[in-house]
Chains A and B, each alone.
Chain A
Amino acid sequence: MVTGAPVEETEYKAMNPTGRAVLKAAEYLPPHELPDQEFPFQLITGRTLYHFHTRTKTGRAPQLNKAAPEVWVEMAAGDAADRGFTEGDLLEVSTPRGRVQGRLRISGIRPGVLFLPFHYGYWDTDSGHEPVKGNGRAANELTLTDWDPVSKQPIFKTAAARVERVASGDGVPAPAPTNTGSAPVGTGVPPTSGGDAARAQELVGGQA
């Protein structure tokens, strides 16, 4: 599992599988980048329900776009309280490779872990392909260029990161959906809803 070297035909035949599957145990492997004094958080990147990949389709659907219009950072309530951060504060998350700015959503995430959605690139920004004045929003700029040698899956869940506050949120909540994983821990955040424009009525055989 460490090397990804294939099992040759003769070796496979020596196991005498006769059509049966061969299950193999894999040892625990520590990540290639672990948190330390300088980068104390584990950074994971991932998805939100409302978008698909880089939002080239979902970003153009008004209700989906409104549900999650901009990048945000998720942090556990305890971690935020330790640092005096509140919902909506503008934070800068950085790793040895890059930095991203986003508003804070205090969610039910595990303590010691930061989450960034990776949907936000630059195609719909003024520059078109790069951060404007160094204010990055693409979470992929922060992750390691590393993959699993067996499956070649990129490793997006084990970067070490640090976080700093750039500006206070002044009561404006993070642009994150209030349901799914990004559900806020505190109250006072207006719930995500489609609004009247999202309502649909279906008539089957002329009857509602």
Chain B
Amino acid sequence: MFAEKVIELLKEAERNPVTIDPFNDDKIRQIVEEMHSLFRMNMNDANATMENKTLWTTVQVRHSALERNKRCLLAYLYSRMVKIKTLRWEFGAILPPDVRELLSDDEYEWFSKYSTNLASYMRSLGQDIGYNGIDLTENLKPPKSLYIEVLCMADYGKLELEDGDVILLKKHSRHFLPTSECQTLIRQGILQQIT
């Protein structure tokens, strides 16, 4: 039956709504082949039966199958595109190699273009009020405060902040720092957030 393969493809993709699957190259090629053959058969019948109108129904059925295949394929590609978009927000501009493998070449190209677009947009933000850009991927929700209080858990040494200030992180000293500066150090266990 027509359009069976494409439904299989969609069902497969639907089973995994959150993460991204490997790009199903094989199946898509089969579907495209099916579409090509449908198109050829329709061309033949349409050319042969200019006067014989009995075949018109067949042509129409084949045509709607063709259209359906096309719509389903587009839906498949679109849903993948949305997922790739979230990848950019989750992983940043550089994808880990195992995720990179799941994308087709075209998808990857789209990803890089999206990435550059987003980066240049973020750079342009807030230029009128003196900031040189805001990293939108950092906080997906507006943060409660820009600064947090942290306690230093180890002798780390000097830390240079973005604005050029140098602070000494020594065990048992407390600091009140911009949230963005501390996140990595908190993850490393050098700083501890005090709530």
A binds B: no
